[in-house]
Structure 1
Amino acid sequence: MIHKSKLAAPGLAVTLICGAILAACSQVSGTPKSVPDAAATIPTRAAIPGLSEKYAKLRKRQVAQVDYQLSANLDRNSDSFSGTVTADTTFQHTLQQPLTIDFAGGTVESVAVDGRDIPVEYNDHFITIAAQHLPNLQHAITVHFQHPYSKNGSGLHRFEDPKDGKVYMYTDFEPYDANRLFPHFDQPNLKAHYTLDVIAPKDWIVISAERESRVEKKGELRHWFFPQSQKFSSYIFSLHAGPYHIWEDEADGIPLRLMARQSLAQYVKPDDWFTFTKQSFAFFQPYFEIDYPFKKYDQILVPDFNAGAMENVGSVTFNDSYVSRGEKTQAQRMRLANVIAHEMAHQWFGDLVTMNWWDDLWLNESFATYMANLSLAENSEFTNTWENFYLGTKQWAYNADQRPTTHAIQLPVKNTDEAFANFDGITYGKGGSILKQLPYYLGKEAFRKGVSNYLKALSYRNSTLDDFMGHLGVAAGMDLDQWQQQWLYKAGLNTIEASFQCQKDQITGLTLKQTAPKEYPTLRTQRTQLGFYRMESESMKQVATLPVLYSGAITKVKEAVGLPCPEILYPNEGDWAFAKVNLDPVSVENMSKHINDIEPPFIRLMLWQSLFDSTYDAKLPLDKYISFLLSNGAAEQDINAVRLNARNLGFAYGYLNQIPIENVRRDELQLAIENFVWTQLQQSPAGSDRQKTWFRAFTDVAHSTRALSHARQMLLGELTVGGLKLDPDMRWDLITLQNRYLYSDYEQAIERELQADNSDRAKLNAIAAEAVRPLPESKQKWLDNLSMHRDKFKLSELREAAYSMFPSEQIGLFNTNSERIFATLSQINAEDSPELISTYASIFPLMCNQKDAQKIKDTLAEKQQLKPMLVKALKNHLYSSGRCIAMGEVLAQNSIQIKK
């Protein structure tokens, strides 16, 4: 059911949650009152992994309040850790239904209620306590437990650094892995205070949401004590430990620490980290009108991390791939600044105010995505933030919204498996893009004020989408129901196209046409900006801009009458709107003639992307796109446009590996791409970001004997290209390339490099280089590891192999093994690890013919019980294959027409 946005007075939400559901909610102390807890209508919890929304609602009606006292014992030499947790629990009413406590994959040694042992009922997913053992409204439930350390990056992950043997631990919990650390109620709307103490080796530091209050010596161990935390959801609780290197600073009185493992510390640039952190604090605190709500801010760089970063309260974890072993490009520095700002935005939006359930996950992530970019745009050294947003986040969103797995931004989430599957381009990219265009619709200050009021009203509580939209509507004085229906509850990407007429070099009429795909026919309302361009003094210059609010199928833009007649009209100038652009015929013709004469780099970036979109949509033949780019791309100097073109040339090279085309023509086009990239690499300024961009493109498209020889000579120091300095990770790119084509001494290249670089990154790269070899025995080995020997590897190692195993030119090797790969899906599907499921799904390569694509269709039809993550991945592979097949058909038709 869709509810209208309504703004509740402060404090009313708690009354509604408590009072509307059960009349006895006010009975949280005193004489127990027996109230039915829907046992007649809600079934007993099924003994399966994960948590359903249905059961979470039942438990929310049972539990009024809970606080945890957690003790943990960390042994660096063991495979597991032990602990004790006491949950001080207040119930809404006396229980008629059993109570379950989430705890996946551990061992329960004993359970006690108020100090009295009770029978243990544990099924490896949750502990069940019969209602008879909880007769009162308040109880202390104590569990003694053990749990294996994680090898897949979730729960409490243990990492032993191959460089120096030091052991590090960290936690990662979203959406439903906090119960792999300790038994508790693992759902976001049961917020709690946490009191923690930890026994750990004496040379370790222990990190959590609070700074330690004291540390006691215990021989070779130390006992760390932490004060009670503020109230927040368990998925943002944390426990990290190890001999981390520490840098310290402060931001306007907020204590800052940055931590990394010892072997990586030499590569960390703390000045960048602290600068970006301080800039983010300086922007967010006045924007939200709320001081940073927690007591300190730690940032910890950790290995084997499954995501980019995680917004744990006061102790944010980052994938240590953000540490480069060479000089970062500006794009990499901006990416770092962006992720720092993203996680900090969550401290308010997500940590201070938290979604009630995972159906509002999108709002959590979309908001942080938008706010991070806004922070960089308004308070950082980076002047092209929104261009980067368009190049990365916006393209991710557009791509996701055209796939069959697209979905409404706001959608029901039945369980935590579905929540994990929804970490996608809609949740982050489209949601962030929609929030980006909302200030244009409401007004920037109204949007800011609405956000601030929302955070103030709901601090330390849970919220829903209606809460957020209600505050925005009040601040702007607007009814947002229609906007909410169009943008949040309907899927699909609209297309806009402008058409115009001119007389005497002035516009006499201009209309905007909006279309929608037949599967998602919603036509939307939003504000865009028109950009008008004309040639002046041998340059294509912007001569006018015009903001337009459009809706429906046709919008007549009367304000355009009298403006200069454009040679190029771009209907989404500045990327205000979330819409795909079709250029009118006049603009297409002039763009093709004058792409390098257009002055503003942002519009060139969008036009280059439009050109690739036409190819991906099977409108422009692939060979024409390649020829145009190779003829005009060398003159492009803007780094974002260079990055875009380099990336899209890599895609084009991959399509050519499989699209049906005469071998002579295929070789000609691929060699032309390789030569173009090599020339750009040679001609770029030494050490420049352009040079590094073209180097990575070279390792994607190099394939000829000549190019592979260049790569080997660069690796051995026998060839220097334009002063390019190879860092350790760039060297591994060249080694992987050598193994991909079995060139020269490819096996010895790995061995030589491992002797010089014995880091964990080197070991992962060595796995990738071996898995990519086009040899039956190499594929057999890693398929065996993925299907039969997973317990011998960390997830990060399996992921590296899976991602590398079947590049586009190795479709024949995939087909040789496809029967086994598809058969293993059922086994992978049975695993209680969405991270492993997504890893295995990455094995599937690009498939550009109907016969190969049919295998995926058949699998989806036959295996009806596949988990959401696998279904989504297979459907997306099928969609990508369909696009590639269509591109091949257009290319073939074009070739026939040319021959005639």
Structure 2
Amino acid sequence: MRSLTLAEARERSSLITVTSYAVELDLDQGPDVFGSRTVLRFGCATPGAVSWVDVKARSVESVVLNGESLDPAQVAEGRLVLPGLARDNELTVVATMAYSHDGQGLHRATDPADGQDYVYGHLFLDAAPSVYACFDQPDLKAPYDVTVHAPDDWTVVGNGAATRGADGTWTLAATRPLATYFMTVCAGPYVSVRDEHDGIPLGIHARASLREPLERHAAELFDVTKRSFDYFHGLFGIRYPFGEYHQVFVPEFNAGAMENPGCVTFRDQYLYRGAATRDELLTRANTVSHEMSHMWFGDLVTMQWWDDLWLNESFAEYMSHRCLVDATDYADAWVDSSIVRKVWGYGAERSPSTHAVAGVEALDAQSALQNFDGISYAKGAAALRQLIAYVGDDRFIAGVRAYLTDKSFGNGTLADFLGAIEASSGKDLEAWSRAWLLTADRDTISVEVDEQNGVVERAQVLRESPADRPADRPHTFDVAGWTDGRELGRVSTTVTGPVTTLAELEGTPEPAVLVPNASDLTWARVRLSDSTIAALPAQLAQVPDEQARAVVWSALIDGVHGATVSPEAFLDVFDAAWPQETNSSILTRVAAYAEHRIVPYFVPRPEQDAATTRLNRAAAGLLEGAEPGTTESLAAARLVAGTSDDEALLRAWADGEGLPAGLEDDGDFRWIVVRNLAARGLIGVEEVDAFRAKDDTLQGGLNALMCRASLPEPQAKAWAWRQLTGREGRSNYEMVHLARGLWVAPDDALVADYVPRYFTDVPAMSDWVGEDALSRVVLVAFPRVFTEETARLSAKTIARDDLTPAVHRSLVDADAELREALASRQTFGAAV
């Protein structure tokens, strides 16, 4: 299918004004297809002109334009030409559409727990035409009237309040103007919990088999929802404008959530079936608040074209963390951001695919999707924090209010947004935006100290700008130092040049640990001094500032990726400091990163068992001393389950014997144990299937696939490869879980034959897998055989000119991680 270009979008928006959509969907035509009837009313600025409508159908039965029939066979590459337009037009398109199984369009999934089918619409970025005929671009917004015919036992939820009529027909209330990619329908035997707040009807919905966790988590979800509404109403001065507010937890969702007005969709893993750590609840609360903030920034005011996608995501990323800190019990949300979101964003910044936050002209829609990453989210949010430091918070919020008011139900651009902030603050933002928003990459900040007899004589912040992407970024942040848990000094500074003197530190005791950007206010590579890194095993756990500890861990992770910190140094700090960590986000995320990234990527293969044993030893020590049922106990138990080589312990836990408190009936925890047993060859296919029978759910099926793919046997790998790369009808989630297990092997020889096959077979999947889903498969399935030959094959594939944008971008990012691993291993060798 052709991807809409920016030039085409500009031409069409200059010609077309959409008045309304009336969409009728018939979801009672079986498991493969559904009926779609669209009545589209629109104006044309130049009568007699020719344009086109987007429609990606299994078949088009009829097309009527202004009373005249058009040939349905004229649809080509997802477009139907509309000739001889009048000033006012009515187009009716009747079509048969196909359900998807890759998370795009109208996705249909079967829940094996009860055999029931569930449908949801995910129309981002360009999937709307696979559901209804439309002018599919973000600046052609219009109100919607939607009618859905569904099986008798189904419930329907959508952008407008749903009313059930006769014969399973649901009518949704007319919406305010929406961009095409925000229209959604969720339908199936969903179960619901309802509430109301400040005159807004609220609903939370999930599969019937998730009734228990839905009801168990409903109070927490409603609480965060209500607090977020109150906070944003007060902050923006504009009431939520889209009627009811539904949150639907749907299966096999490609992202975390999607901000459809009035009907937000979430991945249903957020309804934790078993025990949940505090940081997992924080992550979910952040997602709830993030999507709600989009009701104003993204939904009420939508970017004009995809190259301003950051206006949606950076804003929501910043506002959700701000809301959690100011209005909920999750006051440590910025700590979570440091160790989760910014680590993700820094990874995107290290890749050759790095890009500016804004101003990257997306020449077509699919190209824009490639910049939907940690830079659009985490870096953009950090840039907004720096903008607030530059203009002042009151003036920033005044500008945001003006922007939202002026552009309500329309579209905005970067220039519009910055113009509103300039008007409210009285500051010229041209130089600031050029440095922070329009230039890619990041500065490196460090602190250089001269001391005499343990007293600081001179302290300077050094700011290094990337040579190939120079920029003059002002940074406002703080520097703090500790010895034995006592804070010896903290200085706030604004850095505007390569060298900035910290006069306030002169004459103070030299700290053992000195942390630039200690409160994590800016976006930069933090380079810790050699003396600080050497002191961390003894000192980090004593630092009382959890935000600074998160910055240190992030800097260590960044340093390992950049081959400036050895994996041995990281593991030394992990051994000493991690078991004493009290912040849930740091505790769980650092453990996961150590287990799933540091050891398998950066530790040479012959040394990995010893490194894994170190992780297990630290986790076992924490588990022994942790209070049962706490986040500390759960985090430690998960790490033990994933790293232990104690067959007796693993088999007992898998059978439900001797489990840590709170995990007695936790199926998700059991799968961690089973995966470890499978990867070590201690169980086989029959035993995996037996555990699958105990957890006959969607998540159980996915975990079983991953475990089967992890078995250290040639036949298991061959089976996994066929299931992954063949046309086996696997869903987006099934493909990802197969890929996760495939490369798990005791040695490279077992999977070596699949390295060259990856570079031919996986890109070819673009013939039947959607771009959004395939981009994830390409990343997860990338060979975990870290050799120069893998790098050679990767480079050769990236140079091909027949790759789709999503495949190319994911290959570039995965290749960058491979080369980081090779560089680290070459630099530090077998030092672990």
TM (normalized to structure 1)? 0.88
- Corresponding residue to 1:873 among 796, 810, 818: 810
Structure-to-structure mapping, 1:524-673, within 5 angstroms: 524-533=473-482, 535=483, 539-558=484-503, 560-561=505-506, 565-651=510-596, 654-655=599-600, 659=604, 663=606, 667-673=609-615
* Alpha carbons 1:829, 1:837 under 8 Å: kept: yes
**What residue is the counterpart of 2:710 in the other structure?**
772
**What residue is the counterpart of 1:44 in the other structure?**
none
Distance 1:60 1:696 in 2: 53
Q: What per-residue deviation string (whole Å, max 9, x for no partner) do you get for residues 89-141 of structure 1?
A: 10111244x32111124311111122221223444533433523x2x211111
Distance 2:182 2:403 in 1: 20
* Alpha carbons 1:828, 1:837 under 8 Å: kept: yes
Higher mean displacement: 605-614 or 409-418: 605-614
What residue identity is the alignment partner of 2:7? K
Structure-to-structure mapping, 1:780-795, within 5 angstroms: 780-790=718-728, 792-795=729-732
What is the Cα deviation at residue 593 of structure 1? 4.2
- Corresponding residue to 1:853 among 776, 787, 791: 791
**What residue is the counterpart of 1:129 in the other structure?**
81
- Corresponding residue to 1:252 among 175, 198, 201: 198
Structure-to-structure mapping, 1:319-718, within 5 angstroms: 319-410=267-358, 411-501=360-450, 508-533=457-482, 535=483, 539-558=484-503, 560-561=505-506, 565-651=510-596, 654-655=599-600, 659=604, 663=606, 667-702=609-644, 704=645, 707-718=646-657
Question: Percent identity over the alignment?
Answer: 28
* Alpha carbons 1:653, 1:670 under 8 Å: kept: no
Distance 1:238 1:163 in 2: 25
RMSD in angstroms over aligned alpha carbons? 2.3
Distance 1:76 1:384 in 2: 49
What is the Cα deviation at residue 461 of structure 1? 0.6
Distance 1:74 1:687 in 2: 44
Q: Secondary structure at the match of 1:479?
A: coil
- Mapped pair 1:235 → 2:187: no
Q: Secondary structure at the match of 2:92?
A: strand
Higher mean displacement: 193-202 or 498-507: 498-507
What residue identity is the alignment partner of 2:622? Q
What is the Cα deviation at residue 798 of structure 1? 1.9
* Alpha carbons 1:498, 1:512 under 8 Å: kept: yes
- Mapped pair 1:189 → 2:139: yes
Quickly say closer, same or farther: Cα 1:597–1:818, change in 2 above 3 A: closer
* Alpha carbons 1:496, 1:512 under 8 Å: kept: yes
Q: Secondary structure at the match of 1:412?
A: coil
Q: What per-residue deviation string (whole Å, max 9, x for no partner) do you get for residues 599-652 of structure 1?
A: 223223322333343333323332343234324443334433322441343146
Distance 1:645 1:464 in 2: 38
What is the Cα deviation at residue 567 of structure 1? 4.3
Quickly say closer, same or farther: Cα 1:723–1:263, change in 2 above 3 A: closer
**What residue is the counterpart of 1:115 in the other structure?**
67
* Alpha carbons 2:602, 2:821 under 8 Å: kept: no
Quickly say closer, same or farther: Cα 1:591–1:173, change in 2 above 3 A: same
* Alpha carbons 1:450, 1:475 under 8 Å: kept: yes
* Alpha carbons 1:195, 1:226 under 8 Å: kept: yes
Higher mean displacement: 357-366 or 837-846: 837-846
What is the Cα deviation at residue 675 of structure 1? 2.8
What residue identity is the alignment partner of 1:299? Q
Distance 1:590 1:160 in 2: 54
Distance 1:583 1:796 in 2: 39
- Mapped pair 1:304 → 2:252: yes
What is the Cα deviation at residue 807 of structure 1? 2.7
**What residue is the counterpart of 2:12 in the other structure?**
59
Distance 2:300 2:715 in 1: 52
What is the Cα deviation at residue 152 of structure 1? 1.5
Distance 1:825 1:118 in 2: 39
Distance 1:832 1:722 in 2: 42
Higher mean displacement: 71-80 or 61-70: 71-80
* Alpha carbons 1:828, 1:836 under 8 Å: kept: no
Quickly say closer, same or farther: Cα 1:458–1:742, change in 2 above 3 A: same
**What residue is the counterpart of 1:730 in the other structure?**
669
Q: Secondary structure at the match of 2:203?
A: strand
Q: Secondary structure at the match of 2:712?
A: coil
What is the Cα deviation at residue 893 of structure 1? 8.1
Quickly say closer, same or farther: Cα 1:459–1:658, change in 2 above 3 A: same
Higher mean displacement: 830-839 or 778-787: 830-839
Distance 1:76 1:379 in 2: 46
Quickly say closer, same or farther: Cα 1:171–1:276, change in 2 above 3 A: same
Distance 1:504 1:668 in 2: 40
* Alpha carbons 1:147, 1:181 under 8 Å: kept: yes
Distance 1:594 1:366 in 2: 35
Distance 1:444 1:717 in 2: 53
Distance 1:786 1:818 in 2: 14
What is the Cα deviation at residue 196 of structure 1? 1.5
What is the Cα deviation at residue 870 of structure 1? 1.5
- Corresponding residue to 1:147 among 97, 105, 130: 97
Q: Secondary structure at the match of 1:497?
A: strand
What residue identity is the alignment partner of 2:21? Y
What residue identity is the alignment partner of 2:390? Y
What residue identity is the alignment partner of 1:332? E
Distance 1:890 1:125 in 2: 50
What is the Cα deviation at residue 482 of structure 1? 0.6
**What residue is the counterpart of 1:815 in the other structure?**
752
What residue identity is the alignment partner of 1:690? E
**What residue is the counterpart of 1:202 in the other structure?**
152
Distance 1:448 1:830 in 2: 46
Structure 1 outlier segments of 4+, above 6 Å: 503-506
What residue identity is the alignment partner of 1:397? G
* Alpha carbons 2:463, 2:497 under 8 Å: kept: yes
Structure 2: runs of 5 or more not aligned: none
* Alpha carbons 1:658, 1:848 under 8 Å: kept: no
* Alpha carbons 2:103, 2:773 under 8 Å: kept: no
Distance 1:747 1:128 in 2: 50
Q: Secondary structure at the match of 2:255?
A: coil
Distance 2:549 2:734 in 1: 40
- Mapped pair 1:172 → 2:122: yes
* Alpha carbons 1:100, 1:126 under 8 Å: kept: no
* Alpha carbons 1:106, 1:124 under 8 Å: kept: no
What residue identity is the alignment partner of 2:261? V
What residue identity is the alignment partner of 1:190? L
What residue identity is the alignment partner of 1:107? S
What is the Cα deviation at residue 511 of structure 1? 2.0
Quickly say closer, same or farther: Cα 1:147–1:612, change in 2 above 3 A: closer
State how many pairs are aligned.
Answer: 828
What is the Cα deviation at residue 494 of structure 1? 1.0
* Alpha carbons 1:523, 1:553 under 8 Å: kept: no
Distance 2:73 2:431 in 1: 49
Higher mean displacement: 123-132 or 179-188: 123-132
Distance 1:616 1:818 in 2: 23
Larger radius of gyration: 1
Quickly say closer, same or farther: Cα 1:115–1:392, change in 2 above 3 A: same
- Mapped pair 1:106 → 2:52: no
Distance 2:466 2:391 in 1: 27
Structure 1: runs of 5 or more not aligned: 1-47, 896-900
* Alpha carbons 1:72, 1:199 under 8 Å: kept: yes
Quickly say closer, same or farther: Cα 1:570–1:627, change in 2 above 3 A: closer
**What residue is the counterpart of 1:74 in the other structure?**
27
* Alpha carbons 2:308, 2:413 under 8 Å: kept: yes
